[in-house]
Structure 1
Amino acid sequence: MGQANGLVATDAGMQVLWHRKPFSHVVDYDTWDEELLEDGGIPRHIEAGSMVPLSTGMDGAWEYIVRWGADAALTEAEQQHVVVRSEPYLLVSETDVRVSGIEHITGNAEEDEGFPVQLEPGRWSVTTHLIDAEAFGEPLDFVVLIKPSTGQERYRTSEQPFERK
């Protein structure tokens, strides 16, 4: 099982797990806007598996742990402090997977924000778990689990990872 973690900030209301190849041509705000905001870009990338929304839709910075592999799981303590979990999302990784604010998606590695996830190429099933950090007693807000896709999953395609009640 692999693991990566870090503090991830956004001023655009969305942290995402994404891989660089589909965004290799994004080099400035105009190309970012054209790729993600025009013609339903965000939903298109979610459905294709090139980007997974992870956050609650608010600006700010949160602590993330990402675990991947067939045995990726929550710890016992994390399980006790899950507030809500997402349904699975599809991630099709080919290259350079990262967690960052959506506004930091770029084809230029020198401009990277967030942190890398050393994921092998393939089809993956991603679930996000919101943790009650105060009750947990540690600075941890989200745990993201990435497991190999079985090909049988139904994937969520909403820009909001959690159902609003």
Structure 2
Amino acid sequence: MSLESARAHLAEHGRADDVIITEDPAATVALAALALGVEPGRIAKTIALRTADPDTCVLVVAAGDVKIDGASYKAAFGRKAQMLRPEDVERLTGHPVGGVCPFANPPGATVYIDESLRGYETVFPACGTPESAIELTPADLETVGHAAGWVAVTR
């Protein structure tokens, strides 16, 4: 279901046929990089974080080789960075753990693109499952992901 919703979202941008399905699950950055034959930084991981409202979340799409910087995140969002609990991930993002992506999210999920992705010509976010990805430029990721904007919240 999640892959289908991501494909439908991507179809609205003429990109549904660009989805890549890997033979093996690639739920981690290391596995995704191996499956796609790219460096880990080009894996555009989507980090799902809590907000003050239990029915909303922030999705930060960042380079695969960076981590959230607590001070920068707090400065940008006004609260401590807290990952979603696994049992809340699918409900708040529309996708299962390992397949969280910036496409076809519920209205309460707000997507931001981290500055760590600007250094890459193309990046590979998931498309709703651990076995799926799509190659996009960071600018296309912002547009196709309906991002609220760019942030600098990693180190």
TM over 0.5: no
For the pair shown, the structure with the greater C-alpha radius of gyration is 1
Larger strand percent: 1
Higher relative contact order (CA 8 A, sep 6+): 1
Q: What is the TM-score normalised by the length of structure 2?
A: 0.28
Structure having the larger proportion of residues in helix = 2
